[in-house]
Amino acid sequence: MVIVKCNCYIIATAFMLVLSPLPLVCNKPPHIVFILADDFGWNDIGYHGSEIRTPNLDRLSAKGIRLENYYVQPLCTPSRNQLMTGRYQIHTGMQHQIIWPCQPYCVPLDEKLLPQLMKESGYATHMVGKWHLGMYRKDCLPTRRGFDSYFGYLTGSEDYYTHHRCSRVPPLNETRCALDLRDGEEVATGYTGIYSTQLFTDRVTSIIAKHNPEKPLFLYVALQAVHEPLQVPARYITPYSFIKDKNRRLYAGMVSAMDEAVGNISLALQETGLWDNTVLVFSTDNGGQTLAGGSNWPLRGRKWSLWEGGVKGVGFVTSPLVNQPGTVSRQLMHISDWLPTLVGLAGGSTNGTKRLDGFNIWNSISKGSASPRLELLHNIDPLYVDIAPCPGMGSQASVSPASGSGVGSSFTSWSNSSFNVSIHAAIRYMQWKLLTGYPGCDRWFPRPGRLNTTGTRGFESEPGHSLKPVMLFDVEVDPEERHEVSDQYPDVVDDLLRRLDSYVKDSKPITFPDDDPGCDPVTTGAWGPWQ
């Protein structure tokens, strides 16, 4: 077998003409486009049987690899943090919640981020969309952390048309609404009224059109879709008049707009010829929010919980470069794996990062080989509270694991571990998933459309079992987490508690500072760095 190595597309093409059909191994690093959807649920994509139509996502993933044992974090900031650092939150001090607009912190500045590594590998690096990794000082901004260009918003939950974010400013206890949109480091005005899914897609396609194809491209597209507020141009809702629940109908329209956006981005890559050497990754950042139209059916729980509905993510990879297109992968993968995987694809080095928790999973994706990942720490967060109402639990937003919902702090049955089982934590090893403390809203939310009540925001859910401080599930045979088996497998429980114990000893203290009044955007009219 003759293998031709080449460093440049021209040579490759010349050899192909002369030597075709000899196999060709080309060293030219691929363009990498990473599209991250926001709050996109397990049951919200066509190929999982959703009533929502996603023809572009279905078609692109059908030519690639659908990742069906793929995990993300249960929240925005944590998933993005792990994507950018390749490290668990316990190792960056960011294991608790998200970064609220007035909190003075960001992903620690001594963490080397994915775009910096891509840049060192010779890539042009561009980001469009949601950052949410801190912005209290300029050093935290995407343009200071490896991106050549940035167009997007720094916090979360803004209006899709005005690009304004409303948030309480301490100590006034006053809600301020201000613009959150930047081009580079400058406030971007003049985009009022343009729907963000459209706005960001336009910027992405313009970056693609202007890109010099000789230079490898790393493009990170962090869409606002399909996070609440539920806003969408009317034309996208028209096909969904059959959906009675208003939230779900609006959400479905937002998903359709996002699907069109991904279609447009892939088309732009094809039209510019970049596609033939592109790896496109699509991923959600966390499970769907049932309070805002999302669905993770049949999985248990939702966004902000450690149940599968919170952490099992929609994801796929599509590229002409994969060895086994059209396959479904059941290999265990996690969002922290992208950093070593993509830097590996780029032919770069992870030198300069701290100890990574992610694995290079490219061979598992491309060739179907066994995943190097056997274990996955979902999180350990001693300060956890579920801030959204959970049906059937009243205003249990701050229920502590040691009080309500049948959870008692019991150390006695697991005497071999010093891990405090009142702590909200979850860990996975092969098929086993162990949860401790209160994992978050534990309902099985019904399949959309199966109940004829409207406007009840998914509250007619199936009650969870009474919770125990330590719960074990075999999520391979029981992906819905219905059969708790800790009593049958005490040794597995013991091992996993010991693993949690060693992780907790290896974790950084939580960084979650008080709001800083200096964040007030009243003078500048925009959210942004204030220190």
Ligand X SMILES: *[C@@H]1O[C@H](CO)[C@@H](O)[C@H](O)[C@H]1NC(C)=O
How far, in Å, CA of 140 to CA of 131, rounded? 10
Q: Between residues 364 and 422, which has the closer beta carbon with respect to ligand X?
A: 422
CA–CA separation, 160 and 175 (whole Å): 19
Q: Angle between the 196-210 and 246-271 helix axes, to the nearest 10 degrees?
A: 10
Give the C-alpha separation, 100 to 114, whole Å. 23
* Nearest-angstrom CA–CA distance, 99 and 510: 12
Which helix or strand (DSSP H or E) is residue 344 part of? helix 338-345
Selected catalytic residue, list 91, 132, 334, 424:
132
C-alpha radius of gyration, the chain, whole number: 23
Question: Least distance to ligand X from the beta carbon of 416, Å?
Answer: 4
Which of 26, 48, 76, 102 is labelled catalytic?
A: 76
Q: Are 37 and 295 in contact (CB under 8 A)?
A: no
Give me the amino acid identity at 143: T
Q: Which is nearer to ligand X, 70 or 419 (CB)?
A: 419
Q: How many CA atoms lie within 13 A of 39 on its CB side?
A: 24
Q: Residue 381 and residue 383: Cα distance in Å, rounded?
A: 5
Active site residue 6: no
Nearer to ligand X, 4 or 451 (CB): 451
- Cα 42 from Cα 45, distance rounded (Å): 7
- CB-CB contact of 508 with 91 (8 Å): yes
Least gap, CB of 332 to ligand X (angstroms)? 26
**Six token digits for residue 407:** 């959870």
Nearest-approach distance from CB 283 to ligand X, in angstroms:
19
Q: Which is nearer to ligand X, 169 or 178 (CB)?
A: 169
Please state the closest distance from residue 228 (CB atom) to ligand X, in A. 18
Minimum CB separation of residue 339 from ligand X in Å reads: 16
The least distance separating ligand X from the CB of residue 243, rounded to whole angstroms, comes to: 16
No. of H helices and E strands in the chain?
Answer: 11, 20
DSSP SS3 for 27 = coil
**CB-side exposure of 418: number of CA atoms within 13 Å?**
5
Residue 12 Cβ, how far from ligand X at the closest point, in Å? Answer: 28
Q: Which is nearer to ligand X, 330 or 447 (CB)?
A: 447
CB of 55 to ligand X, least distance (A): 13
Tokens read off for 324: 């086994």
Interstrand relation of 164-169 and 174-179 (parallel, antiparallel or unpaired): antiparallel
Q: Which structure tokens are listed for 206?
A: 């313009």
Tell me whether residue 375 or residue 494 sits nearer to ligand X (CB atom).
Answer: 494
Nearer to ligand X, 71 or 438 (CB): 438
Please, which residue, 322 or 345, has the CB nearer to ligand X?
A: 345
Tokens of 49: 């049987």
Q: Is 348 helix (H, G, I), strand (E, B) or coil?
A: coil
273 SS3 class: coil
Which residues bind to ligand X, rule: CB under 6 A?
171, 173, 197-198, 201, 257, 260-261, 264, 349, 351-352, 382, 415-416, 420, 422-423, 451-452, 490, 494
Is 39 within 8 Å of 258 (Cβ atoms)?
no
Angstrom CA distances, 499 to 181, 377, 380, 416, 419, stand at 42, 9, 12, 12, 9
C-beta separation of 16 from 24 below 8 A: yes
Find the shortest distance in angstroms from Cβ 410 to ligand X: 11
The residues, any chain, with a CB within 8 Å of residue 202's CB and separated by 6 or more, are none
**In the complex, what is the shortest distance from the CB of residue 53 to ligand X, in angstroms, rounded to a whole number?**
15
Q: How far apart, in Å, are the Cα atoms of 345 and each of 242, 278, 320?
A: 44, 11, 14
Q: Indicate the residue among 178 and 268 with the shorter CB distance to ligand X.
A: 268
Nearer to ligand X, 212 or 351 (CB): 351
Q: What CA–CA distance (Å, rounded) separates 178 from 34?
A: 29
Catalytic residues: 76, 132
